[in-house]
């Protein structure tokens, strides 16, 4: 069954208004597949019927936005950011006397990114004091991150075997990250359309693989908020397919080894 045009338009508008994520025509299949489980749970005959009821039931709107939020994630995704973090960024911050180092992992999904950061710090800078704030718009993924428990399938997505042995314990069918690492990460609910979470100013912000879902105007507003939350001389990590070039010229892209970081122009030295 093809999703009705007015159903798609309502959902696309709701998601855009709540999260700034753009759902363009051609994504009807995505809306239908993501909302089908909610429709079944609600006893609706199909997604169109579910959305018709949804128009008058705002209590379900948040669950729809969560269902349409992409939660693609993996351990040490793209690897280069963590290499740059270890080889260049943390040593530069240590030399500058930053302590504790404050890190914001934005749009963190189920926690693999902030825990990858925590493991990088623990293995390479054991005496470093650091606070990691991890945020996402969806309650369900935040709950998963806080639990620190991951299935074998989730573990297999990028976690090196030595780190599994060193930093996780088997708990039935799952693996649980060590308490001292779990306690190092503070998970909070946050919408990137809102003011940055408390805990800053941040020395490092990971805002990876999320700007690609926004239009240019929203990208600029999000980058402006991040800039306001970043400490002088702080570092911004974006996804491999993302850039500030042509979007916000107050940032400068700096090549570091095989990766790159972004800094505001007044703090461009590395």
pLDDT given for residue 70 in this prediction: 65
Three-class SS state of 226: helix
Active-site residue 34, yes or no?
yes
The catalytically annotated residue of 18, 34, 184, 263 is 34
Q: What are phi and psi of 73, to 5 degrees?
A: -160, 165
| Buried b or exposed e, range 94-123, using 16+ CB within 10 angstroms | eeeebeebbbbbbbbbbbbbbbbbbbbbbe
Dump pLDDT digits (tens) for 92-112: 999 999 999 999 999 999 999
Q: Residues 48, 136, 203, 248: which is the catalytic one?
A: 136
Name the stretches of the chain with pLDDT < 70: 1, 70-72, 266-270
What is the Cα–Cα distance from 242 to 212, expressed in whole angstroms?
7
Strands of 174-177's sheet, edge to edge? 149-151, 174-177, 168-171
Question: Is residue 111 within 8 Å of 187, Cβ to Cβ?
Answer: yes
Whole-model pTM over 0.85: no
Q: Identify the structural domains of the chain with CATH numbers, from first to last.
A: 5-68 (1.10.155), 80-267 (3.40.50.150)
Beta strands 202-207 and 230-238 are parallel
């Amino acid at each position: 069954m093809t999703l009705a045009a007015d159903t798609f338009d309502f959902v696309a508008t709701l998601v855009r208004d709540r999260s700034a994520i753009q759902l363009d025509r051609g994504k009807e299949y995505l809306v239908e597949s993501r909302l089908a489980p909610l429709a079944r749970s609600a006893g609706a005959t199909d997604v169109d019927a579910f959305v018709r009821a949804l128009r008058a039931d705002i209590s379900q709107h948040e669950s729809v936005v969560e269902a349409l939020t992409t939660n693609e994630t993996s351990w040490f995704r793209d690897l280069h950011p963590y290499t740059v973090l270890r080889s260049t960024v943390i040593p530069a911050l240590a030399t500058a006397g930053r302590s504790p180092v404050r890190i914001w992992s934005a749009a963190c999904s189920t926690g693999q990114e902030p825990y990858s950061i925590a493991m990088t710090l623990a293995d390479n800078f054991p005496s470093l004091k650091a606070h990691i704030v991890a945020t996402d718009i969806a309650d369900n993924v935040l709950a998963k991150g806080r639990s620190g428990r991951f299935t074998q399938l989730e573990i297999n997505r990028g976690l090196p075997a030595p780190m599994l042995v060193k930093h996780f314990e088997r708990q039935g069918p799952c693996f649980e990250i060590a308490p001292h690492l779990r306690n190092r990460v503070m998970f909070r609910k946050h919408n990137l359309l809102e003011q940055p979470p408390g805990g800053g100013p941040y020395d490092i912000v990971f805002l990876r693989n999320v700007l690609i879902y926004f239009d240019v105007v929203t990208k600029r507003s999000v980058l402006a908020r991040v800039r306001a939350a970043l400490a002088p001389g702080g570092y911004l990590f974006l996804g491999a397919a993302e850039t500030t070039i042509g979007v916000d010229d107050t940032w400068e892209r700096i090549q570091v080894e095989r990766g790159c970081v972004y800094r505001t122009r007044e703090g461009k030295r590395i």
